[in-house]
Copies of this chain bind each other. A is one copy, B any other.
């Protein structure tokens, strides 16, 4: 077994040696993606897509519980429509793919492939929202969007990516702001409860706002290498889009007024976040809630009488308990299988051989810490469920510890530079005066950009870390994916 394991371990680069290479090794060897001849786009393979299906299923349930409905907008946006909101078009036009011909016919109005769908939702809302009785509309769609990125990396930044985009429209600013916050909280809860990934909730600085938004909120996570990753965003638009698209409704006093809007999204980037939060040098480590296979059963000496039968029996028991389970009865050696499912990040491995059967037990190994225990086959469902919770809790705890260990409160520019040089990347907490100039200077001088103004504020000092003028708030800085 040791030898087999070593073979697989050798096959991927160590994360300490080259984190970027470790990452791309994993996405390939765990069979999450494959490259294509379409530059910057990828095939999401069955194992990778099954993770996304689990993410979708859980999030979609949370959206529906909070009153949202799914719709589907066209994938194209006419250039004239994209141009209706000034900031929005400035933000997105430089990075869209343009359709200029349909068949052999040249189009009069070019179409872009949606980079995001605010403009389409606004056009639709202008058609269907007339009275306060029509509000709110709480819509979402699960689609792919295209942004013509120059440098790309699987899941983290690709020209086409899968996402969901929520778009809501409300009678009042208060309701819309409440929605923006509600969905940020849904995202944070999902990341913590389903991805075992702690996140910082906060507001983006003005320089980092979504094109056309009044305020952008985000959840920020810290990856294993100390770099930050924006895991989800929620935007409050005020009535800016409503004005640009002439969406008006008649309120209860029979006056024509503008409604207020939001949008919010998470993407397949979450899969990248999972890899870089929990993975190790043996491969992927998946949080149980989104793992395509939660428990793999490896029969030991599977050609001996009764072993495969017992494995199948176990599989049926666990399946009936709602656990996603698989028996690997292939010709490969147990050692090969151990390494394979470690690479694929399966949270729990169950080994069952002739000796175990004799003693009515099996061996359970948890992926994240490789702890091994002997467990009675009596009541095995509860035992496996317990192990899955253990994996989730263990992953969350380790991720939180990593983030805490790598979060530094700094009160001067020199301190930021020193801390980063000494410890490598991480979150820097520092006070800020609110001026974009200082934000830029911090980035220039130390390499870390503002990630967000966290909702949970601390007072590290009275003055801005950069200019020394009175501070307005504490900011998280970091290097970002």
Q: Across the interface, do A36 and B69 meet the contact criterion of CB distance under 8 Å?
A: no
B96 and A103 form a contact (CB under 8 A): yes
CB contacts (< 8 Å) of A105 on chain B: these are 148
Partner of A70 from B46, B74, B98, B143 at Cβ < 8 Å: B46
Q: CB-CB < 8 A to A128: which residues of B?
A: 34
Within 8 Å by CB of A124, from B43, B113, B146, lies B43
The residue from B36, B74, B97, B162 contacting A41, defined by CB atoms under 8 A apart: B74
Quick one: which of B46, B81, B97, B148 contacts A71, CB cutoff 8 A?
B46
Total copies of the chain: 2
A160 interface residue, CB < 8 Å from B? yes
Q: Report the separation of the CA atoms of residues A98 and B69 in the bound assembly, to the nearest whole angstrom.
A: 32
Q: Which residues of A from 309 to 330 have beta carbons under 8 Å from B? A: none
- Chain B residue at minimal CB-CB distance from A144: B75
Q: Could you tell me the distance in whole angstroms from the C-beta of A236 to the nearest C-beta in chain B? A: 23
What is the total number of residues of chain A having a CB less than 8 Å from a CB of chain B?
Answer: 53
Return the CB mask of A23-55 against B: 1 if under 8 Å, else 0.
000000000001011100111111001101100
Which of B38, B44, B73, B78 is close to A72, meaning CB atoms less than 8 Å apart?
B44
A292 — nearest CB in chain B belongs to which residue? Answer: B69
B-contact bits for A438-477, CB 8 A (1 contact / 0 none): 0000000000000000000000000000000000000000
Assess whether A77 is in contact with B38, with CB atoms less than 8 Å apart. Answer: yes
A36: contacting residue among B36, B38, B74, CB under 8 A: B74
The closest CB in chain B to the CB of A137 belongs to: B46
* Chain B hits for A139, CB < 8 A: 46
In the assembled complex, the CB of A355 is this many whole angstroms from the nearest CB of chain B, namely 30
Q: How far apart are the CA atoms of A113 and B52 in the complex, in Å?
A: 23
Does A127 touch B at the CB level, under 8 Å? yes
Residue of B nearest to A95 (CB): B103
Contact A127 B34 (CB under 8 A): yes
Chain B residues, Cβ within 8 Å of A70: 46, 49-50, 53
Whether the Cβ atoms of B94 and A113 lie closer than 8 Å is no
A379 at the interface (CB under 8 A from B): no
- Bound together, the chains give a CA A346 to CA B127 distance in angstroms of 25
Interface digits, A65-96 against B, CB 8 Å rule (1 contact, 0 not)?
A: 00001111111111011000000000000111
Closest to A330 in B: B133
In whole angstroms, what is the CA distance A282 to B89 when docked?
Answer: 44
How far, in Å, is A155 (CB) from chain B's closest CB?
12
A97 and B110 CA atoms in complex are apart in Å by 11
- In Å, the complex CA distance between A258 and B77 comes to 42
Residues of A97-115 at the interface with B, using a CB-CB cut-off of 8 Å, are: 97-105, 111, 113
Specify the chain B residue showing the minimal Cβ separation from A128. Answer: B34
* A125-152 interface (Cβ within 8 A of B): 127-128, 139, 143-144, 146, 148
B100 contacts A37, CB within 8 Å? no
Min Cβ gap A85→B in Å is: 15
A244–chain B nearest beta-carbon distance, Å: 15
A34 touches B160 (CB 8 A): no
Does A120 sit within 8 A of B, measured CB to CB? yes
A123 cross-chain contacts in B, Cβ below 8 A: 36-37
A228 to B101, CA, bound (A): 32
Contact status A104-B100, CB under 8 Å:
no
Interface centre among A34, A36, A42, A77 (most CB of B within 10 A): A36
Report B-chain residues with C-beta under 8 Å of the C-beta of A46: 69-71, 139
Measured between beta carbons, the chain B residues less than 8 angstroms from A97 are: 76, 99, 101-102, 111
Cβ B102 vs Cβ A101 within 8 A: no
Interface centre among A42, A50, A101 (most CB of B within 10 A): A101
Q: How far is the CB of A102 from chain B (nearest CB, A)?
A: 4
A-B contacts, 23 of them at CB < 8 A, read A34-B124, A34-B127, A34-B128, A36-B73, A36-B74, A38-B76, A38-B78, A43-B72, A44-B72, A46-B71, A46-B139, A52-B72, A72-B162, A75-B75, A75-B144, A95-B103, A96-B102, A98-B99, A98-B100, A98-B102, A103-B148, A105-B148, A113-B113
- In the complex, the 5 A-B pairs of residues with the closest C-beta atoms, listed nearest first: A41-B74, A46-B69, A102-B148, A44-B72, A98-B101
